[in-house]
Structure 1
């Protein structure tokens, strides 16, 4: 089987690129190891640049209809309110952050691809070999694939003009293409879960509201989700195993219970109630690291998304970053059949430099968010809270809102 472009990985980034290419009339194949779509929520935040990207596929309206628009955020310190932030002025068309479980986002993208290119998505197959043509060889890239679970030596050979790796941080294609990475482990761990929201999407108010509590023992984050759900994230002293809803709620109670008991009437009326562990639909722990591929283009293989740059999920920039990779890459892939290494074709070197720069900027911003939420000694915590309160009381909060919503990324 042959395709113009063979994409490995049917996560949100691979499906998004496939939709872009199919809409341009290119023959595309997508290979995915999983036999069935993922059901749990994973990434939930779509910043304005992500909605702009979906608009290119005419999917932004469908996403907004399914998701929940969050236009307001609250900052709570270790003892008192730090301030409030509105996203109303961050974008002309999408002045909010949309929360939508990744499973629903992937479903929208997969259905769109099926409409454009029926049968392009192949599930339950894995890549086991990659043979790129030489510099002077105009032949195709040869990809060896086999059904997941088969351990024999037999495999099927598929060919493509270009192979795009969108198969995540542990990318098989990146390994087969011999592309190295630089990795930094930060050592920060978190426990997150999705629960029924006891008071509706807006807490005690009526407006969906994100809440960040900078506690001295580690940050607590809370984001409303569609369908009467709420995502809770808490910084932990160690990687949590096993991952239990009861442990997550116990940590939340420790960090918010004292605050609620002493100052329940002081600016606390709009904070969401702590969740019931019995309502958990997902609980997951994770550790933070930065992993950047040394190259995004090698021969006729291209890396995008987490395969190219896995960054801290704090701030929720990863999926948007991958979609912006795809948006900038699609016109280059549409230029015609590849012959020889892509590094020698116009635009690819500039694309690689630009996307590596964007990944580094996003990584640094995510890490700054993470550092602000680390456990701190009481005296340092008070200084941090005072600085945050001062910023939130000035027009700088509007610049902060734009930064938080990836305003630096621009519009397609």
Structure 2
């Protein structure tokens, strides 16, 4: 396979993790190309906050300051059970440059990353999909389709995506951050293994007329978890875990009923909603993070519940790790670092998903923590060493085995 090529790495997927991967590579002088099959950036998103660790990473690229001005800082996470406040976690204990969560639309983060990429003369190629990969010891040949919408149907008009043209490119490596339904992962035949039961949530975004609290609030109910996020623009967001049998999009009456049952302390009562939806979240981990010269990152590798926003935030760190290892390999450093990336990624997610290792509760931990410590872990918006420091405030211990590798 020819090594005479315009780009060294192809990134598939222009969500936060794909954009971060491309930016980390470009900053290291790697010639990178990034594709996204969708025709525009995200408008609605469920990942709405950045962990302190993610902000430190973004600071390396000069992005944290401006993003912080566009978001809402939350300094605490409070835990409730119906009408009782059980305890809280204070981010000030991190003694970090960013001792808070930053509530920020995913689309805002993506726009900032995309603009930074333009400084390196890297443009996201929207409406482009990687169709097939053929690799050998020298590189990867990728078949790419440029997509367009075509009008179909009579007498009722409709539109579908169609392939406008195809092309083939040769690159040294591919990084696929193409999400939960990753076509790249499927094409490699990598199994996306289940680790625990799926969760279904009703999500409501609504006008919030009260004074915005500087904290995220988690309600630990019997067999269900609910979470409130204060967000910018006088809005709030509630997510309620519900029975898997639910199939209909909920309305305002259901919203009020759930609030009365699970968070009777919440006020003022919402009078309307901007939007609502029902969404399912799985707990999964790919059995491999890649094969040969094609590697996976972000939701293509792992999926978990939405409360702690761990999948996207840990994925941002993975982007930096795989970019460093690829840059090293391209500069003659060998491919040993890629094996380290896989080991680090899988070790951390085994802990976060409760497969092995992970946090434990002290004998002095409050009863609500001791009752089910495994339930607490995916609720905490934190990762890496920060997660251990945050958990220690409620009587839990965690020292990530993968931290030194990441």
TM-score, with structure 1 as normaliser? 0.79
| Count of residue pairs brought into register by the alignment | 366
Aligned pair 1:210/2:216, yes or no?
Answer: yes
Give the alignment's Cα RMSD to 1 decimal: 3.3
SS at match of 1:129: strand
In 1: Cα distance, 2:227 partner to 2:393 partner: 16
Change (3 A) 1:187 1:307: closer
| Equivalent position to 1:193, from 199, 204, 214 | 204
| Equivalent position to 2:294, from 270, 282, 301 | 301
1:141 Cα deviation from its structure 2 partner: 2.8
In 2: Cα distance, 1:51 partner to 1:403 partner: 26
SS at match of 1:186: coil
Change (3 A) 1:145 1:407: farther
1:401 Cα deviation from its structure 2 partner: 5.1
Q: Which moved more, 1:193-202 or 1:298-307?
A: 193-202
Task: Give the 5 Å matches for 1:221-236.
Answer: 221-236=227-242
Residue number in structure 1 paired with 2:58: 54
1:39 Cα deviation from its structure 2 partner: 1.0
In 2: Cα distance, 1:166 partner to 1:108 partner: 18
Aligned pair 1:178/2:189, yes or no?
Answer: yes
1:153 Cα deviation from its structure 2 partner: 9.8
Contact residue 11 and residue 166 of structure 1 kept, 8 A = yes
Contact residue 283 and residue 304 of structure 2 kept, 8 A = yes
SS at match of 2:328: coil
User: Which structure 1 segments of 5+ residues have no match?
Assistant: 203-207, 261-270, 370-382
Residue number in structure 1 paired with 2:157: none
Aligned pair 1:131/2:130, yes or no?
Answer: no
Change (3 A) 1:345 1:233: same
Aligned pair 1:41/2:45, yes or no?
Answer: yes
Aligned pair 1:89/2:79, yes or no?
Answer: no
Residue number in structure 2 paired with 1:379: none
More strand by share: 2
Deviations 1:280-326 (A, max 9, x none): 2x422222322211111311101011111122223111111111111
Change (3 A) 1:142 1:235: closer
1:125 Cα deviation from its structure 2 partner: 1.4
TM-score, with structure 2 as normaliser? 0.80
In 2: Cα distance, 1:403 partner to 1:182 partner: 31
Task: Give the 5 Å matches for 1:5-154.
Answer: 5-118=9-122, 120-133=123-136, 135=137, 138-148=138-148, 151=162
User: Which structure 2 segments of 5+ residues have no match?
Assistant: 150-160, 360-366, 377-387
